[in-house]
Structure 1
Amino acid sequence: MQLSQQLVLVTGGARGLGKRIVKAFASQGARVVINYHQSHQAAQQLVETHGPDRALAVQGDVTDPAQVTAIFKTAQHHFNAPITTVVNNALMDFSFNGDARPHPTDIRWEHFEAQLAGSVRGALNTVQAALPGMRDQAFGRIINIGTNLFQHPVVPYHDYTAAKAALLSLTRTLATDLGQHQITVNMVSGGLLQTTDASAATPDEVFDLIASSTPLRKATTPEEFADAIMFFASPWARAVTGQNLVVDGGLVMN
């Protein structure tokens, strides 16, 4: 299915990386469902930019199965079509500030529960809601957002990194189960992106250090990261599933 024919759900799509992902899909003619939790005004601004025939803002907490089901029903009613493509981008409240992160001596299991709920439970909820429509079409694209930190923990964000590692496992097991329905499941993993809401607290010297450590000698931007997501949704990736593509300027090489 061409990008222009797809109906795409981007969770956490109103701000930061999610906003760039929405813009990338919209630029290719796709219709986009912008899920947001609290950022109503930002989501509506995106709808105004792209028009109600191409974009729809829907509030919902992805950790709540009932709210996720409502998102899918609202989208189908608005566009008269099922969602074909899901980008699991929503991030529970988190700031990439190494100085303020919980350390091993004081981190609590509740930190892990919050990140697991956002990354793994949220993705499971959207996948389960998407499956009926994807099976009926014999087409589906599920793209999960990961991190290079579980391969190269330059800053040990224990809770966030553990949740994303679990999401990679879910990505691969879902790919194995859903491939028979022509549904692909992949992950795109970034390093520290310059700049999103989550990385706004990161000091400039950290970005400079990361840039100097990459072959490209630059920090990756949200726009560059979104380009890789477009690949997995496109026909060019129709035979690719269960993969984790690291997009960080070559800091981590698989």
Structure 2
Amino acid sequence: MLMVLLTCGVNCSIESMCSPYLFFAKTQNESEGTMVEIGKVDYSDFEVDKSAAYPTLKDRVVIITGAGQGIGRGYAHYFAAQGAIPIIAEINGEAGEKVAEEVRTKHGDALAIQVDVTDLDSVTNLVNQVLSQRGRIDCLINNAAVFSKITMAPFWELPVDEWKAAVDVNITGAFYCARAVVPAMQEARWGRIVNVSSATFLMGLPNYLHYITTKSAMVGMSRSMARELGPWNITVNTFWPGVMQTEIERPSVPNERFKEYTARQSLQRQGTIHDLAKPVLFLCSEESSYITGQSLQADGGLTFV
């Protein structure tokens, strides 16, 4: 049996786990060529777009961190709809169990496990529980990140504790999770690791040094991991989502800033969970078996590499 595991990596002092699953979206009135605000979109009861079909994901065990809300929660539904088994590993146990129950009701098997990705013992316990209860781990999606209510400030005024929190979750947490799952993947001689970065790091945004630095570091980490894990048929890639105003970002980034980012994109709309989930499905499928050490962007043309 194969399975999907989703974890939230933020420590208890960071408020990002319990909000409703909400997004903001914009669309373009093609006839007039103007931007039209369509406001808040409630994804609490969204339906998975089943046009994406990856039969090789059936029964896969996939680890996705940060799945108690937002994009990670959407990943859980999308993987389950493909027949995979999401394990929602979440620091907020109540939020994680709620997502697991949603997935079980709509799609099939799911398991919630409470974890703090900044704590190596907690991550080790998570992996042990997954192996004990589901028997294997096929994929890891390092999606957990510190962003909620972070301070926007020049780096010389940035609180040191916020710098450390970003490093602990965004980089060290991803390292801990990858380190913990690799032995099971090596034994199976198959695995997928997707490290979720952000297309915004290419822009060198001012006042977000801690976030931008840690998200860019994930690219180098992924490439080194890909070099080392290739002999075991384990691929490692980085996924760069673009602008998507989830409940995690909303407290930290003014709405006007999101409008500005959207206006810069080639595609004049904000992304949805459907736009971001499908590329991750691909990177975890057999169809991506010859792709490793690469970065896949889904940002509506905000940045070009």
TM-score scaled by structure 1?
0.91
- Report the equivalent of 1:121: 172
Q: Does 1:70 align with 2:125?
A: yes
Corresponding residue to 2:221 among 160, 165, 170: 170
Q: Does 1:35 align with 2:35?
A: no
Q: Distance in 2 between matches of 1:219 and 1:95?
A: 21
| Root mean square deviation, CA, Å | 1.8
Corresponding residue to 1:197 among 236, 247, 251: 247
Moved more, 152-161 or 181-190: 152-161
Q: Distance in 2 between matches of 1:131 and 1:12?
A: 19
- Report the equivalent of 1:251: 302
Q: Does 1:11 align with 2:62?
A: no
Contact persistence 2:57–2:83 (CA under 8 A) = yes
Q: Distance in 2 between matches of 1:112 and 1:199?
A: 17
Q: Distance in 2 between matches of 1:118 and 1:104?
A: 19
Q: Distance in 1 between matches of 2:63 and 2:287?
A: 20
In the TM superposition, structure 1's runs of 4+ consecutive aligned residues that sit over 4 Å from their partners are none
Q: Does 1:45 align with 2:95?
A: no
Alignment gaps of 5+ in structure 1: none
Q: Distance in 2 between matches of 1:16 and 1:49?
A: 14
Cα distance, 1:196 vs structure 2: 1.4
Cα distance, 1:33 vs structure 2: 0.8
Cα distance, 1:150 vs structure 2: 2.0
Q: Secondary structure at the match of 1:66?
A: helix
Contact persistence 2:171–2:214 (CA under 8 A) = yes
Contact persistence 1:90–1:118 (CA under 8 A) = yes
Q: Distance in 1 between matches of 2:136 and 2:229?
A: 17
- Report the equivalent of 2:162: 111
Alignment gaps of 5+ in structure 2: 1-54
Contact persistence 2:76–2:103 (CA under 8 A) = no
Identity of aligned residues (%): 28
Cα distance, 1:93 vs structure 2: 5.2
Q: Distance in 2 between matches of 1:116 and 1:154?
A: 17
Cα distance, 1:124 vs structure 2: 1.2
Structure showing the higher helix proportion among its residues: 1
Q: Secondary structure at the match of 2:203?
A: coil
- Report the equivalent of 2:193: 142
Q: Deviations over 1:128-186 (max 9, x none)?
A: 11111101111000001101122113454100111111111110000000011000001
Q: Secondary structure at the match of 1:10?
A: strand
Q: Distance in 2 between matches of 1:73 and 1:54?
A: 18
Q: Secondary structure at the match of 2:197?
A: strand
- Report the equivalent of 2:15: none
Corresponding residue to 2:113 among 58, 74, 85: 58
Q: Secondary structure at the match of 2:136?
A: coil
Q: Secondary structure at the match of 2:157?
A: coil
Q: Distance in 1 between matches of 2:275 and 2:226?
A: 25
Residue 67 of structure 1 aligns with an amino acid whose one-letter code is: S
